[in-house]
A = this chain, B = another copy of it.
Amino acid sequence: MTKPLPAQPRYIPAPRSPGMVGTGLVVGEGQEIFAQGAVPHGFFRVLSGVVRVCRVLGDGRRQILGFYAVDDVFGLDFGSERQHYAEAVNDCTLLSFRRRAVEALAQENAAIGQQLFLYAMQDLVQTRNHVQLLGRRSAAEKLAGFLLALSLRATDRHMVTLVMTRQDIGDYLGLTIETVSRSLSQFERQGLIALSNIRDVHLLNLPALEEISA
């Protein structure tokens, strides 16, 4: 977070998106995409990389509200000011959509409104699953659930890459880095996973993980 940031977001030629035209942009690792408290000017779709959406609490702690990967839409937050902020977990390419333009489009084209609704619903589904994870009592259950959720989006269900830090995972699951680390180590000792390096997790026993996740 306190590291030399790659200057400003860099804009790139815009790919197409169904109905709406977005502006492509590149965001470097750790860079902020929008700030909490700012006026929401639009939303984003991830083309590559991973984004974290967070909320800072009164006492300075951070709650991560979600990780957004390829094809995910984030930044749907159309109040007077943003209730959360977004940062690039790693280098990202994004499509940005201006709120005003999209809303104007939605006035005329019913399909656009439906598309927006769909985006919100997808976010809702993800957020509900997040609630479920956070509601689980034990750290092992939370972490197993988290790994399984990642595996669902991986090309190979048995290979998961933790692009985010342990701190990120902790702030997502309501745990400390130590507990995240300990739980992972325990899974490894139990032969449920293998950590070839810090980021790459080999899920050796999916059924067992599902059992733990309950």
Q: Please give the residue numbers on chain A whose beta carbons come within 8 Å of chain B beta carbons, in ascending order.
A: 55, 57-59, 61, 63, 65, 76, 78-79, 83-84, 106-110, 112-114, 116-117, 120-121, 123-125, 127-128, 130-132, 134-137, 171, 174, 213-214
> A135 contacts B132, CB within 8 Å?
no
By beta carbon, the residue of chain B nearest A173 is B135
Min CB distance A46 to B, Å, is: 18
Q: What number of copies of this chain does the assembly contain?
A: 2
CB closest residue in chain B, given A176: B137
Q: Report whether A61 and B214 are in contact in the complex, using a CB–CB cutoff of 8 Å.
A: yes
Cβ of A136: which chain B residues have Cβ within 8 Å of it?
57, 174
Chain B residues within 8 Å of A121, by CB: 76, 78, 120
Which residue of B61, B128, B171 is within 8 Å of A84 (Cβ)?
B128
Among B61, B109, B131, B174, point to the contact of A63 (Cβ < 8 A).
B131
Out of B61, B108, B214, name the residue touching A110 (CB < 8 Å).
B108
Nearest B residue to A108 by beta-carbon distance? B110
Name the B residues within 8 Å of A59 (CB-CB). Answer: 214
Closest chain B residue to A210, Cβ basis: B58
Instruction: Name which of A59, A76, A108, A113 has the most chain B CB atoms within 10 A of its CB.
Output: A113
A120 to B125, Cβ gap below 8 A? no
Q: Which of B76, B107, B112, B131 contacts A134 (CB 8 A)?
A: B131
Decide: B117 and A113 in contact? CB cutoff 8 A: yes
Interface hub of A79, A127, A135, A174 (most chain B Cβ within 10 A): A135
